[in-house]
Amino acid sequence: MNNYHTNQKVYIKSSNNSQLIIARYTYTLIVFAILSLIINLIIGNKLLVISFIKSLLITIITTSIVKYIINIIKKKYNLLDIYTKDTIIAIAIILAFFGLNTNIYILIIASIITIIIKSFSKSINLSSALYGILIIIIYNTYILNIETPLTILSNQTFEELLAYSGGIINSLFSIEYQSPLLSIIMFIYLFYKKGIKYNIVIYYVLIFILSILLYDILNSHIWLVYFQLLTTPLFFLTTYTATDYKCTPTIGETQAIYGSILGLITTILYIFIPAISIPLSIIACSLLLTKPLDKLSPKIKYQKK
């Protein structure tokens, strides 16, 4: 007797294929980087602009070389595939935003590890950059002890933190904080093009904001939420890595559950290890939650009917 194995999950038919989706992510990141450079030149962040350009050159060169070597090992010799099929440009831009003023060797190591993980895992794409980002943040924050608004929040007044972050305009557009307002604009564009799992973003950000706001109220620092939202990579990483189509739930209902749990986990981690709370929670949830939720999706769809 023959046994037939079927996947217990829901598949959704869509006019958006994976190549088109990732192409949109890539060119929005290119536009994002260009606008960030222009705006930061205008508001006077020239040193950040120079640092970002240096960081971007390092990440593009390193990721390209490593990926081409891996492709040769796999007997794939088309150099253009690195940029058209392997999303190297998008990953390099994401890493570059976190590599500002970072030791060149650490940035190279982070880029290499990112590409190795992406190349040998079939269930990960842009979110592979999170592993490199973790390396960069851990080195800068916990080894070099470089202070950021994230590490000094509880010890400063609103005015001191506002001055430290460079003011409201700087907080909204600074390359150092991954341009939160531009991140939101890019999310709106991807949402309009139906190229992003928006349920994850909406529920994740909403739950995080409500949870962290409650925490701030209980600690009599309600104004802290401003800095916790605008001086963290929340909007940037949520848009470009938390919605990785390869390692996140398939249907809207499970995406909402996924985003809500992700928001709670990020809040808990943020209280104890703020600097790495966002990338660490996204990695953990993609590894632990996606498969169970996808197995649950047929039951949810059936109950709705």
Give tens-digit pLDDT for 108-122.
999 999 999 999 888
CA–CA gap between residue 228 and residue 172 (Å, rounded): 12
Determine the distance from the C-alpha atom of residue 298 to the mean position of all C-alpha atoms in its chain, rounded to a whole number: 28
The confidence score (pLDDT) of residue 153 equals 61
Give the chain's length: 305
Residue 301 contacts residue 251 (beta carbons within 8 Å): yes
> What is the pTM assigned to this prediction?
0.89
The dihedral formed by the CA atoms of 186, 191, 193 and 194, expressed in degrees to the nearest 10: 140
Give the pLDDT band (50/70/90) at residue 269.
very high
Portion of the chain with pLDDT greater than 70, in percent: 88
- Region 146-167 average pLDDT: 69
- State pLDDT tens for residues 168-219: 888 899 999 899 999 999 999 999 998 899 999 999 999 999 999 998 888 8
Please give the average per-residue pLDDT across 38-55, as a whole number.
Answer: 95
Q: Which of 48, 22, 25 is nearest to 36 (CA)?
A: 48
Backbone angle region of 220, left / alpha / beta, with phi > 0 → left and psi within -120 to 50 → alpha: left
